[in-house]
A and B are shown apart, each in its own frame.
Chain A
């Protein structure tokens, strides 16, 4: 019966092409707008590491200005000072811990065949890779001694490895970073956490860095930060050593705390540290150290903006308006076919069978509208990409969203079609048949 109803539905759409196109267009437009905003919103609010998001904690210490908080309301700064980060790295409580910042190098192949290119790098600890479950294509992370002694080893992104080594296993080979030779120790596979939760100071949706070097190199090579550096008091900073001693905040710190006990213990460690620092005249604000798991951290840092929420709400309202119009058009269409309905009823169709026939037609309109909506959404996402560089990763429809678009289209059109389909079967067949 479904295939029969589908055939009738197709014939009906073809019989009234303008009306059909109007309805398909209305649904397509509503779905297109909804899917554009929903895609961006869904990826914005995506949990980038769901399997560990409740054990990974961003660390905040309130070392800020006594007269005003870093952010409202009473929000501590998102980054730590170098020396505070170093102090927390001494704790044995977390299963893993990492202090890090974004830097950059002039990258070149060892033979200097390719021109040097400025690339972004993450200066970090070896735990970074295990903590954030970074997949390796070749090799692996450096060992703990490299963190302490600042060995010149590097982990390349897949893209960088493809560029320099044509995608081959480059472990053991050498690259040049700022004219110094680094031994390749690992190549990571495709890894694009969205949002880039581990460092939200330089673009929530930016690509991960192209290479990774041990944190121990920071002081030794005076690596500059390519990320944000914030301060609240006048400090004389004439050298890299001054910067490391200063109250400037620029280091991201994460800890892996697998249970409530370790969380409590690490919070105790942080509080103890800050209380000691207070005795030395630092941390003038009230004690306010924080541990935020990944979802909380994304919320604190307002990765999903209020604007995008409002925009999504408006787009669904727009879809509702489109559907209301479709209700009217469907009513007109089905009531226009009242004579046919009456005849089918006279020939033995039950109300439910006619309702099914009408709903299949509505469903077909919904599916066609959904397909049109997907095309419009793809166009809309291209426009988003063109407008906002950072949204490159956000403005992509994946399989799930494609299915969601079709389900949304089918579901909303059926919802819009229920009343007209029901109304159409209420006609009394006797009154509409051409009798005497």
Chain B
């Protein structure tokens, strides 16, 4: 699903160069749930931005869903983001002036779906996250957990191939965090690949595989199978 080979990314200012990613290689298989951990400044966010086509990279090769995206135009990258990628952010990133319904509608508008199709998808996504009855509420009228569920609905409405989650439970209390995590697991169980950046080791343990990033490189990862085994034993 996601294949990065020898990716490097350098941020340059007049005075300094920062190597955010160096020789970064990673494969994520279709249907995997991968947790990316690492200390602040290790390059997790840069990785997520590049993986989510929000940022370009300097060298290397990146294939997303079998397509080489290394040299795509900005418009083509936007189309791919819209069609194949869903984002869930730590701060929810909902548009405060739009209702829940309209927030979920945003990516669908840029997809060019008909009104009927959009409504169908929005209603289904909101139902999936248990917020069908709150469609006309404003984000400010919802709790943090509900807001994050709206963000998940927004990401799901476009039926993405891969979901990138950046500290999805970072702003939530433990109960809400658990609900959100269960929701992500359910989405993953239905076949959507998930790549989640997190600081939370407990959250990371729930993923199929952990990738540890340090100084812009993958320094450690647990194989899919062993992570799966660990997860099963934890559940038991």
Contact = CB atoms under 8 A, between A and B. Distances in A.
B95 A343 contact: yes
B88 to A, nearest CB: 11
A353 B109 CA distance: 10
B62 interface: no
B40 A348 contact: no
A429 B54 contact: yes
Given A348-B79, A350-B75, A436-B44, A343 B54 contact: no
Contacts of A11: 97
Contact of A346 (B40, B52, B90, B95): B52
A348 B54 contact: no
Interface in B88-114: 89-91, 93, 95, 97, 106-107, 109-111
Contacts of A436: 40, 44-45, 90, 166-167, 170, 197
Interface in A326-362: 340, 343-353
Contacts of B90: 434-436
A12 to B, nearest CB: 8
A345 B74 CA distance: 10
A339 to B, nearest CB: 8
Contacts of A349: 78, 82, 110
B206 interface: no
B45 A347 contact: no
Contacts, number: 76
Interface string B195-220: 00100000000000000000000000
B48 A350 contact: no
A386 interface: no
Nearest to B82: A348
B149 interface: no
A346 B75 contact: no
B86 to A, nearest CB: 9
B81 interface: yes
B67 to A, nearest CB: 16
A142 B90 CA distance: 91
A383 B78 CA distance: 54
Contacts of B107: 347-348
Interface range, A side: 20 to 34
Nearest to A344: B106
B109 A433 contact: no
A11 B97 CA distance: 8
B81 A15 contact: no
Interface string B165-197: 011001000000000000000000000000001
A346 B55 CA distance: 10
B82 A347 contact: yes
Nearest to A339: B93
Contact of B93 (A15, A350, A433): A433
B83 interface: yes
B166 A348 contact: no
A388 interface: no
A434 B93 contact: yes
A76 B170 CA distance: 91
A350 B109 contact: no
A348 B75 CA distance: 9
B109 to A, nearest CB: 6
A350 B79 contact: yes
Interface in A7-54: 11, 15
Nearest to B197: A436
B89 A435 contact: yes
B106 A347 contact: yes
Contact of B78 (A1, A340, A348, A430): A348
The 9 lowest CB-CB distance pairs between A and B, nearest first, are: A348-B82, A434-B91, A430-B54, A430-B49, A347-B107, A350-B78, A430-B55, A348-B110, A350-B75
Interface of B: 40, 44-45, 48-49, 52, 54-55, 74-75, 78-79, 81-83, 87, 89-91, 93, 95, 97, 106-107, 109-111, 154, 158, 166-167, 170, 197
10 contacts: A345-B78, A346-B81, A349-B110, A350-B110, A351-B74, A428-B55, A434-B89, A435-B49, A435-B167, A436-B197
